[in-house]
Structure 1
Amino acid sequence: MSYTALIVEDEYLAAEELRKMLVAHSEVEVLGIADALPAAIEQIQRLKPQLLFLDINLRGASGFDLLEQLDEAPLVIFITAYDQYAIKAFEVSALDYLLKPINPQRLAEAIEKLKKQLLPEEANPTRLSIDKRIFIKDGEQCFFVPLAEVFLIESVGNYARMYYGNNKPLLHKSLNYLEEKLPASHFFRANRQHILNIEYIQNIQAYFNNTLMVDLPGGRKVEISQRQSVKFKEWMGI
């Protein structure tokens, strides 16, 4: 099985050296090299690589800035000369973290992790699949958020707060935007303020004016509006 990758590195010699090292790993197909954030975004959107070899320090930006601008996060192997970024990189669940100059053995280990953890390709390009992850940079914190673990999304002005586990990072996307991107098999628009993951509904009960009230993890309750309650009942067969 082959895997597609994009190298995002602003040092030409370092990028070419990595490309040459990857020749020994025929299962990895390098689609291209991007040396700055705009070029990287354009190539990611056009080529849709499964993996990024991502330099943390880019010209005028950072690898974290790049991830923040993507609708969904590919698997990422961070590459940098500065090991103080290691903790932050793994806080966002990077596949691996390689220090320059890259050690061939460490690269081989990273490729093995790729084989074990690569997620399936998206079948419907207009929506994310439930096994995808999205990257969120909330202040100084960074998160790779597995959609399957998100039980509630709440509108906060033009942003959206995503609840999963004990985390609730703020995503710089609107609820309307997310409604068009999230897998309709799992996420349901309950009202103007909330989208919920039906897999996490713990209880459903009738509420005022033909609405429904659902219980979610952490003691959270969400009211499904009158209009959406009709759709919800039809969808759930209740």
Structure 2
Amino acid sequence: MKKRVYLVDDELLALEELKVLLSPFEDLEIIGACDRVDQAIKECNEFKPDLIFLDINMPGKDGFGFLESLEEVKEVIFVTAYDQYAIKAFEVNALDYLLKPINPKRLSEAIQRFRSKSSSASGGESSEERLSADKRIFIKDGEKCHFVPISKIFLLESEGNYVRVYYENQKPLLHKSLTYLEQKLPEELFFRANRQYMFNLDYVENIEPYFNSTLLIILKSGHKIDLSQRQSAKFREITGV
């Protein structure tokens, strides 16, 4: 099955050139190309491409702001005329970084890297609304950018209109609601404890009896989360505790 590719660049000539350069790769299908950032965000959220070729220096919103606006990011190859963004691009775990004018050999290497990564990933394509554990989410917290594997998130904490995302030794803020994330993250992996917290079941260290038949969840990180009677009953049902 062909991999679905979307192109984003504020220069129409650059988009056309990239289409020509990608034409020999028969396993790739270009499902869209756009020179307007807002429209590209809308279409990428709708089409959910397997790979995005993304310019960085664009008017109104740069490539990193573009990624922040997406509901889901699979793989990204940055294409830009400015090499000063290279380090930041790899800080968000971009698959590759190509300088304009694009060298066909470098493009071929980037595509091969994408193929290798795609073939090693288990499972096929999915049209489900929920993200799978092997996906990543992009978080831009101030000047820092995070490309976070969902499986490494161990705790989510609601903070007003934001959610504090705990993974490894990081805890960036994501401009989404906890309810939104509850609907998007894999339900077999994440448990909504209460209005404030949701945690990853794989990171539970201990479960202790609490007041009035409730449970106290202790994560490997040391965080302690108390469940209501209703959620304690649900937790017992799910886990068999």
Structure 1 residue 150 corresponds to structure 2 residue 153: yes
Q: Secondary structure of the residue that 1:218 maps to in structure 2?
A: coil
The one-letter code matched in structure 1 to 2:170 is N
The one-letter code matched in structure 2 to 1:147 is I
- Name whichever of 43-52 and 187-196 sits farther off: 43-52
Structure 1 residue 163 corresponds to structure 2 residue 166: yes
Deviation at 1:217, TM superposition (A): 2.5
Structure 1 CA distance for aligned equivalents of residues 101 and 124 of structure 2:
31
Deviation at 1:14, TM superposition (A): 1.3
The one-letter code matched in structure 1 to 2:233 is V
* Residue pair 1:76, 1:96 contacting (<8 A) in 2 also: yes
Structure 2 stretches lacking a partner, 5+ long: none
Structure 2 CA distance for aligned equivalents of residues 57 and 36 of structure 1:
12
Structure 1 stretches lacking a partner, 5+ long: none
Q: Secondary structure of the residue that 2:77 maps to in structure 1?
A: strand
* Residue aligning to 1:236: 239
Structure 2 CA distance for aligned equivalents of residues 193 and 32 of structure 1:
39
5 Å matches for 1:20-169? 20-118=20-118, 120-121=123-124, 123=126, 125-169=128-172
* Residue pair 1:211, 1:225 contacting (<8 A) in 2 also: yes
Deviation at 1:141, TM superposition (A): 0.5
Identity %: 56
Equivalent residue for 1:226, pick from 218, 225, 229: 229
Deviation at 1:211, TM superposition (A): 1.8
CA RMSD of aligned residues (A): 1.4
Q: Secondary structure of the residue that 2:207 maps to in structure 1?
A: strand
- Name whichever of 23-32 and 122-131 sits farther off: 122-131
Structure 2 CA distance for aligned equivalents of residues 80 and 128 of structure 1:
29
Q: Secondary structure of the residue that 1:191 maps to in structure 2?
A: coil
| Paired positions, count | 238
* Residue pair 1:78, 1:94 contacting (<8 A) in 2 also: yes
Deviation at 1:212, TM superposition (A): 1.1
Structure 1 CA distance for aligned equivalents of residues 69 and 125 of structure 2:
19
* Residue pair 1:36, 1:59 contacting (<8 A) in 2 also: no
Q: Secondary structure of the residue that 2:221 maps to in structure 1?
A: helix
Structure 1 residue 177 corresponds to structure 2 residue 187: no
The one-letter code matched in structure 2 to 1:229 is S
The one-letter code matched in structure 1 to 2:159 is V
Deviation at 1:2, TM superposition (A): 2.0
Deviation at 1:64, TM superposition (A): 1.0
* Residue pair 1:206, 1:212 contacting (<8 A) in 2 also: yes
Deviation at 1:215, TM superposition (A): 1.8
Structure 2 CA distance for aligned equivalents of residues 68 and 30 of structure 1:
22
